Amino acid sequence: MSLMRPAILLLSAVFSISAFSQQIPAALTTDPPADKDHPATMDSFQIPSHGAALNAIAYLAAGAGPHPVAIVLHGFPGNEKNLDLAQAIRRAGWDAVFFDYRGSWGSPGSFSFGNSLEDTAAAIAYVRDPSNAARLRADPKRIVLVGHSMGGFMAAYAGAHDPGILAIGMISAADMGGMGGQVASGKEEKTAIAELGKNLEKEDILPLAGCTGQSLAKELIANSKQWTFSAYADLIGNRPLLLVTSDDGLAPSSESLAGELLKQGSKRVTLKHFDTDHSYSDHRIALEATVLNWLGTL
């Protein structure tokens, strides 16, 4: 059953939410014209972040550029990396940059949510560096963050706190601060940490190094107020924001953020719901079409 409640549907109409038709962009069905001088390609590199070197790749769009850039942020632990989405973004004429946070999927260091926030900022700084931007044929003034699940939280936090980010895309975004606060509410800290730690361990943390479910739970509970979506509305302001939700239980926090922005008079929010699972397993093309149509409005 869809999590989109009638009140939210009404909000969507009043909100002037960018309800663009779900057209299939050409980038989903057609490869771009060949450019022998500046072909579409892939570049692998490492992003320096607080003493570690993050494993990263960039899908570079065809053409001399400079191209706008979408930094694609994976979730927790990152089994779904959305690289099909990154490829589609490239075909649409954007560079797509993907990296693994410290302590995840072979990137050195220890994984934590705080480290991942720092790593996201480091990735933005890397793309903005003039020499890197030139190599990537990238426009450092046109950077968009697109994050899935925990990556949606990373996109929300980093984008909100960096006014130079052009737009923010959040796909089934996990309100990490809200999660910590909800579990901790009315419970002793030890009990809350144990409960949340077990839930996090069920998410398959084997690809993550230097952490435990308990250490991550402590971090979420300690930062529950400053990491909740409701704290970012003022900072996001009237910048373009894409909120894609599914039937995974996470939709209410994105809807709440949309409501906060409505109160502030924002007219640049796109809210789209799909009746599917957290990974959009049977809606991959629909998800890609939504993201590409949104990017096209920028």
According to the model, what pLDDT value does residue 191 have?
Answer: 87
Rounded-to-integer distance, Cα 263 and Cα 211, Å: 39
**What pLDDT does 8 receive?**
45
This prediction's pTM: 0.91
d(CA 31, CA 97): 19
Q: Tokens representing 230?
A: 């409701």
Share of the chain above pLDDT 70, in %: 91
Cβ atoms of 56 and 130 closer than 8 Å: no
CA 13 to each of CA 28, 32, 169, 263, 270: distance values in angstroms, whole numbers, following the listed order: 28, 36, 20, 14, 11
Average pLDDT over residues 109-130: 98
Q: What is the mean pLDDT of the chain?
A: 91
The more confidently predicted of residues 92 and 187 is: 92
> Mean pLDDT, to the nearest integer, of 115-125?
98
pLDDT in tens, 230-241: 899 999 999 999
pLDDT tens, position by position, 137-162: 999 999 999 999 999 999 999 999 99
3 vs 116, higher pLDDT = 116
The predicted structure's pLDDT at residue 151:
98
Look at 128 and 267; give whichever has higher pLDDT. Answer: 128
State the Cα–Cα distance between residues 196 and 218, nearest whole angstrom.
Answer: 9
pLDDT reading at 116 higher than 50: yes
Give per-residue pLDDT as tens, 213-271: 999 999 999 999 999 998 999 999 999 999 999 999 999 999 999 999 989 999 999 99
Res 109: pLDDT: 97
The pLDDT of residue 192 is 85
Question: Parallel, antiparallel, or unpaired for β 41-49 and 52-60?
Answer: antiparallel
**How do the domains of the chain map onto residue ranges?**
177-227
Q: What are phi and psi of 232, to 5 degrees?
A: -105, -10
Cα gap 138→166, rounded to integer Å? 14
Question: Rounded to the nearest 10 degrees, how much is the dihedral formed by the CA atoms of 293, 81, 4, 256?
Answer: -90
Report d(CA 27, CA 98) in Å as an integer.
Answer: 19
DSSP 104: B
Lowest average pLDDT, out of 14-18, 98-102, 254-258, goes to 14-18
* Residue 102: predicted pLDDT: 98
Under a CB-based contact definition with an 8 Å cutoff, are residues 231 and 225 in contact?
A: yes
Question: Looking at residue 183, what is its pLDDT?
Answer: 67
Q: What share of the chain is helix, strand, coil (3-state, %, to 5)?
A: 40, 20, 40
Q: How many CB atoms lie within 10 A of CB 292?
A: 22
208 bridge partner residues: 104
**Contact of 148 with 114, CB cutoff 8 Å:** no
Residue 87: CB atoms within 10 A of its CB come to 16
